């Protein structure tokens, strides 16, 4: 089954059959009004200032410190991390202990997250839906890079496209929902081959290597060595690519998405025609796709990278989808403008 095909835009149906579990969804890059309406139902970013309870926001800094530290903490360390005096921190901690958010070891006096904090975390994890959370990120990525983008997850038979968004234009690269992609020759498959942990991956790769060796007439060891080099290269760059290896004339990038346990759960893929799709490892296009995948990973609970900034007062990460994807896209536009001038 091909990863992509080139088709005239007028011939593309509005909807395709849903993917595994009915999660498949096809669309075109949305306009601003559509994106705003789609995101409006659930957000933590307040577009307009609203009156809140400042003492709660201040106290939560202590909970954030406990969560980030990963082990029980002394009062003085908690207070320092929370940016407040020890006496003030102690009053907050007393209230949190009454609520079950924090507990204190009677022997050491150290504080740690309590049972109710665990309940909240588990309840939040149970509500995580990668496909739903990916929707606005894919929309922004498609708009920023003007290329077809897709989300793939591991299905019963391998990497499966569960959602795609076409960029539009007279010539469009499409990726249908429900399509199972090969591990060795597609960008999406190579991302799973490099980062996904499953016994099935190894068995499937062995089958594909044998088939490729028989079809090309080359030694099995040679084909295996080439694939191993591709997988190692993918891990080194943090993103997989395919240059016409599956579908002639089509380039692709695919970046892994991880959950709170560090396990790969999905891949964000982008495809484009060879003449317009810059497949250099360090291209702004590749950086945009990696940024989108990193953002979705954090939405799924994966640890934030060291460069993520957190304000001392609110402890809220100062990054948005546009910041993540847009920075790389801006660099791409600057490079394009420079080339035009030359």
Question: Which pair of tokens denotes residue 109?
Answer: 């006096």
Residue in the block written with tokens 């320092």: 80
pLDDT computed for residue 75 by the predictor: 94
The pairing of strands 171-174 and 5-8 is antiparallel
Which DSSP category does 161 fall into?
E
pLDDT computed for residue 70 by the predictor: 80
Whether residue 7 has pLDDT greater than 70: no
Closest CA relative to residue 177, chosen from 200, 197, 151, 199: 151
Which DSSP category does 164 fall into?
E
Range of lowest pLDDT (47-61, 62-76, 146-160, 310-324): 310-324
* CA-to-CA dists, residue 278 to 192, 243, 267, 271, angstroms: 22, 10, 19, 10
Confidence of residue 166 (pLDDT cuts 50, 70, 90): confident
Output 1 or 317, whichever has higher pLDDT. Answer: 1
CA distance 50 to 68: 27
193, 183 Cβ separation under 8 angstroms:
yes
Closest CA relative to residue 142, chosen from 34, 45, 243, 244: 34
Element (H, E) at 174: strand 171-174
Residues in CB range of 95: below 8 A, 6 or more apart: 59
Closest CA relative to residue 272, chosen from 292, 288, 251: 251
Range of lowest pLDDT (60-69, 222-231, 311-320): 311-320
- Output the furthest CA–CA distance in the chain (Å, rounded): 75
Whether residue 14 has pLDDT greater than 50: no
pLDDT computed for residue 266 by the predictor: 94
> Taking the model in full, what pTM does it have?
0.62
Whether residue 61 has pLDDT greater than 70: yes
Output 78 or 199, whichever has higher pLDDT. Answer: 78
Output 340 or 115, whichever has higher pLDDT. Answer: 115
Whether residue 272 has pLDDT greater than 90: no
Question: Which pair of tokens denotes residue 271?
Answer: 């495809």
Whether residue 29 has pLDDT greater than 90: no
Whether residue 269 has pLDDT greater than 90: yes
- Residue 334: other Cβ atoms inside 10 A: 11
Mean pLDDT, the chain, rounded, equals 77
Rounded to an integer, the average pLDDT of 308-321 is: 33
Whether residue 89 has pLDDT greater than 60: yes
- Would you tell me the crossing angle of helices 75-82 and 86-99 to the nearest 10 degrees? 100
Whether residue 164 has pLDDT greater than 60: yes
Report the chain's terminal Cα–Cα distance, integer Å.
41
Whether residue 316 has pLDDT greater than 60: no
């Amino acid at each position: 089954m091909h990863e992509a095909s080139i088709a005239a835009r007028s011939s593309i149906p509005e909807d395709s059959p849903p993917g595994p579990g009915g999660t498949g969804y096809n669309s075109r890059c949305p306009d601003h009004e559509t994106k705003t309406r789609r995101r409006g139902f659930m957000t933590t970013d307040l577009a307009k200032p609203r009156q809140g309870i400042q003492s709660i926001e201040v106290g939560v800094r202590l909970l954030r410190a406990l969560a980030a530290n990963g082990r029980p903490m002394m009062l003085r360390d908690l207070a320092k991390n929370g940016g407040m005096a020890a006496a003030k921190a102690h009053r907050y901690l007393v209230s949190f202990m009454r609520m079950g958010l924090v507990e204190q070891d009677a022997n050491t006096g150290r504080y740690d997250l309590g049972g109710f904090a665990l309940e909240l975390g588990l309840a939040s994890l149970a509500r995580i839906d990668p496909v739903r959370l990916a929707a606005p990120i894919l929309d922004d990525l498609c708009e920023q890079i003007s290329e077809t983008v897709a989300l793939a997850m591991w299905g019963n038979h391998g990497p499966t496209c569960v959602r795609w968004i076409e960029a539009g234009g007279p010539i469009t690269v499409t990726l249908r929902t429900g399509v199972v992609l090969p591990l060795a020759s597609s960008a999406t498959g190579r991302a799973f081959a490099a980062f996904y942990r499953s016994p099935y991956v190894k068995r499937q790769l062995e089958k594909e290597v044998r088939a490729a060796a028989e079809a090309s007439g080359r030694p099995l060891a040679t084909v295996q060595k080439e694939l191993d080099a591709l997988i190692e290269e993918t891990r080194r760059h943090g993103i997989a690519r395919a240059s016409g290896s599956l579908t002639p004339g089509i380039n692709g990038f695919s970046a892994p998405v991880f959950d709170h346990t560090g396990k790969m759960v999905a891949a964000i893929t982008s495809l484009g025609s060879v003449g317009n799709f810059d497949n250099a490892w360090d291209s702004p296009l590749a950086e945009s796709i990696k940024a989108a995948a990193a953002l979705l990973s954090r939405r799924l609970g994966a640890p934030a990278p060291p460069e993520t900034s957190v304000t001392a007062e609110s402890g809220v990460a100062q990054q948005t989808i546009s910041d993540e994807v847009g920075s790389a896209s801006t660099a791409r536009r600057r490079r394009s403008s420079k080339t035009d001038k030359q």
